Amino acid sequence: MILQPVILCGGSGTRLWPLSREQYPKQLLKLVGDHTMLQATALRLSGAPLANGDTLAPPLLVGNDEYRFLIAQQLKEVGIEHAQLVLEPCGRNTAPALTLAAHTAQRAAPVGQEPLLVVMPADHIIQNEAAFRAAVLLAAEVACTGKIVTFGICPTAPETGYGYIKRGAALAGGSASLVERFVEKPDLATAEQYLSTGQYLWNSGIFVMQASTWLAKIEQTRPDIATSMLQAFEGRSQDRDFLRPDRAAFAACASDSIDYAVLEKLASASHNTGEVAVVPLEAKWSDLGAWNALLELGERDSQHNVLMGDVLAIETHNTLAIAQGRLIACVGLDNIVVVETPDAVLVADQSHIQQVKDVVARLKLDQRSESSAHRKVYRPWGCYDSIDCGVRFQVKRIVVNPGATLSLQMHHHRAEHWIVVSGTACVTRGEESFLVSENQSTYIPLGTLHRLENPGKLPLEMIEVQSGGYLGEDDIVRFDDHYGRDVAQLSTGKAA
């Protein structure tokens, strides 16, 4: 058996704004433990007690094209090599993503061996890893009989924010059950009734199945998705370490979830054929759907506060406070959430915490960048932080990773002054190329072709002062790029 971890990396996590944003979503954040949620998910099956002859394949990730270098860097940081990363050109929900993953896993598997997919969202927290791995191995036994197995979280409260699974007939010695039906998020009275019966579990969104089983079932219930994703896979191309499905075929696919596209149809009351099973999971699980979930997961002080970063709390109770860059002083607070970032601060009563998504919607309506981007922006070569700006000027702190190279580019509306703080920069400016060392500077006139490289083995840190009539990021015309981003024709200067 080939146990194939499949990690679904979509989603922007707007309920965790201002830390989670479209350009840096919650799965890339380090909120619980020593790893980001993506890293923890990728490591989750490491050390699983497999039977003789079974193998654990490197993770297969399906994620947004915009996050490809961030994902690759985070995997590298925890020593995960040879992971496969399938890039979605646009969002189409989890059913198309899993279909692509199933085709990819089948193609990569040795001839005659069937990959068993362990499908995990990248943004869940599981604190009891041993219990999770034991549940996966039990689910694998059931999935090898041709069933799709989902994990049901043993409920601890009448939660109205989750869908539920009703258990049917017992399987595998009573540890697993057939799914009798899936039910939508209930109201409080219904959730209390579910909890009292002991027959209902929270729907976790984690699954185990054979790749061939999924492909057969998506063909049965959503042949349109099956056809589109087969076309997208067959038209794929390889870009560095990334697999790119055919863009047109992928974009033409309908958007649907794993549950709606397949599982609920197979387990519907009208024709439930016993093809979907559930394994109970007690592993301290959370989908971290809102800030108050961290109060349940984090380490509380004597006043039941969870404090992260530079936080001073006086006469404050049951409060979550997260400081990224500045001191937060909390005085006389109760049941409050405070989250500070360099460009935004959230203050919310816990009873209204779900309305954070409305803040993001308002910011988008007002076309404010805080809805999607942090002040610190990550790029394939490193990152930059816009530390000050005013009329006709902007100041950035730039970090270039060792060996990394920015694109060969020019600007129509701004000039740039570069001051090296640490490391050594190799600068291309027009026809000349030269080194700029610590405490040295150089100037890039408006309209001049230029490139910045870090030839050293340590990060290059520098301050960039931009001056001009327009300082937007779209005033970049690239003529050559090591990371596959769009470039222009050098002879015309028109963007591709």
What integer best gives the mean pLDDT of the chain? 92
pLDDT in tens, 131-144: 999 999 999 999 99
- Calculate mean pLDDT across residues 65-83: 91
Give the residue among 119, 310, 304, 305 at the shortest CA–CA distance from 218.
119
pLDDT at 270: 55
pLDDT cut 70: percent of the chain above it: 97
Confidence of residue 239 (pLDDT cuts 50, 70, 90): confident
pLDDT at 269: 57
Cβ partners under 8 Å of residue 144, min gap 6:
1, 116, 210
Beta bridge partners of 277: 149, 178
Strands (E), 295-440: 306-308, 311-314, 320-323, 328-331, 336-341, 344-349, 376-379, 382-390, 393-400, 408-410, 414-422, 425-429, 432-436
Give the residue among 452, 279, 270, 286 at the shortest CA–CA distance from 379.
452
d(CA 357, CA 254): 25
pLDDT at 296: 87
Whether 282 contacts 126, CB under 8 Å: no
Confidence of residue 54 (pLDDT cuts 50, 70, 90): confident
Give the residue among 233, 210, 229 at the shortest CA–CA distance from 113.
210
Whether 336 contacts 354, CB under 8 Å: no
pLDDT in tens, 200-229: 999 999 999 999 999 999 999 999 999 999
pLDDT in tens, 145-159: 999 999 999 998 998
User: What is the DSSP track for 288-319?
Assistant: --STTHHHHHSPP-TTS-EEESSEEEES-BS-
- Calculate mean pLDDT across residues 350-359: 94
What pTM, to 2 d.p., does this model score?
A: 0.90
- Calculate mean pLDDT across residues 12-23: 89
Topology of domain 376-480 in CATH is: Jelly Rolls (2.60.120)
pLDDT at 484: 82
Whether 117 contacts 100, CB under 8 Å: no
The full 3-state SS of 162-178, as one line of letters, equals CCEEEEEEEEHHHCEEE
Topology of domain 2-286 in CATH is: Spore Coat Polysaccharide Biosynthesis Protein SpsA; Chain A (3.90.550)
Confidence of residue 192 (pLDDT cuts 50, 70, 90): very high
pLDDT in tens, 420-476: 999 999 999 999 999 999 999 999 999 999 999 999 999 999 999 999 999 998 999
d(CA 1, CA 116): 7
Give the residue among 461, 447, 383, 449 at the shortest CA–CA distance from 415.
447
| Calculated CA dihedral for residues 184, 189, 192, 193, nearest 10 degrees | -80
pLDDT in tens, 372-419: 999 999 999 999 999 999 999 999 999 999 999 999 999 999 999 999
Confidence of residue 5 (pLDDT cuts 50, 70, 90): very high
- Calculate mean pLDDT across residues 93-118: 94
d(CA 283, CA 281): 6
With residue 7 as reference, give the H or E element that holds it.
Answer: strand 2-8
Whether 228 contacts 252, CB under 8 Å: yes
pLDDT at 48: 79
pLDDT in tens, 464-495: 999 999 999 899 999 999 988 888 866 543 33
Can you read off the two tokens belonging to residue 372? 């999607």
Helix (H, G, I), strand (E, B) or coil at 87: strand
**Domain boundaries defined on the chain:** 2-286, 299-365, 376-480
pLDDT at 496: 28
Beta bridge partners of 417: 443, 465
pLDDT in tens, 287-316: 988 998 998 888 999 999 999 999 999 999
pLDDT at 490: 60
